[in-house]
Homo-oligomer: A and B are copies of this chain.
Amino acid sequence: MSVEDRRVKRLPREVREKQILDAAVQVFSEHGYHNASMDEVSEVAGVSKPMIYAYLGSKEDLFAACIRREANLLMEAIVGGVDQNQPADMQLWMGLRSFFEFVAANKPSWRVLHRQAISQGGPFSEELVAMRSRAINLVDALLFRSATRHGVEEQHATKSTEAMAAALVGGGESMADWWLDHPEVPTRVVASWLMNLVWMGFGDLVEGTVWQPTP
């Protein structure tokens, strides 16, 4: 019996669950949530449909499980890449690098997270919005701490840093998307562009150098 046997039998539950989730991420990332069929997932996973339902539940459940797993992996990658003892700018920089590296190494995961999850209402957005919030909060904390440390009033800082964090996260997502079509650019470079854009602009703002429309 070859080691490569596509259809291995009687595996423990854990292993099968991983197989299924892997297949699901792949299929969802290729066709999108709605166009993906459970048949294809089962085929790719090398597992019959009833097993999927027995282990992971409905299609919705399966998709949610994918999102949860991938979102956790992504956040772990980012947080794991950051040294909390470093200054704020270095933390942001390392976070960005980790983010782009994760995307580069896990394109299907990213597609599921970015494209599919957002567009499906209710049940999933919760999972997704939760992760997005974590990311935004992470960045927001950095910005906020940095801003107040430079003398900006707390009250004034609160909302603007949150919105900027949202913009940064969104900008990162957008750049990651752009990068999918320009893979020849090293992720390091892409990260540095975003870093510069955000950190310098933010620094200026904190120091009172503000752009204002000429009236």
A residues adjacent to B (C-beta < 8 A): 31-35, 89-90, 93, 115-116, 118-121, 159-160, 162-164, 166-175, 177-179, 182, 185, 190, 193-205, 209-211, 213-214
Least Cβ distance of A141 to chain B in Å? 16
Instruction: Decide if the interface of chain A is mainly helix, strand, loop or mixed.
Output: helix
Q: Is there contact, CB below 8 Å, between A196 and B200? A: no
Nearest 7 interchain pairs by C-beta: A170-B174, A201-B201, A119-B119, A171-B171, A34-B34, A200-B204, A166-B178
New A-B pairs, 6, CB < 8 Å, besides A93-B211, A115-B118, A170-B172: A33-B119, A34-B35, A159-B182, A170-B177, A199-B211, A200-B210
Q: Is there contact, CB below 8 Å, between A200 and B205? A: yes
- Chain B residues closer than 8 Å to A193, beta-carbon distance: 160, 163-164, 167
Least Cβ distance of A150 to chain B in Å? 15
- Chain B residues closer than 8 Å to A205, beta-carbon distance: 196-197, 200
Q: How far is the CA of A88 from the CA of B161 in the complex (A)?
A: 25
- Chain B residues closer than 8 Å to A197, beta-carbon distance: 164, 167-168, 197-198, 201-202, 205
- Chain B residues closer than 8 Å to A171, beta-carbon distance: 167-168, 170-171, 174
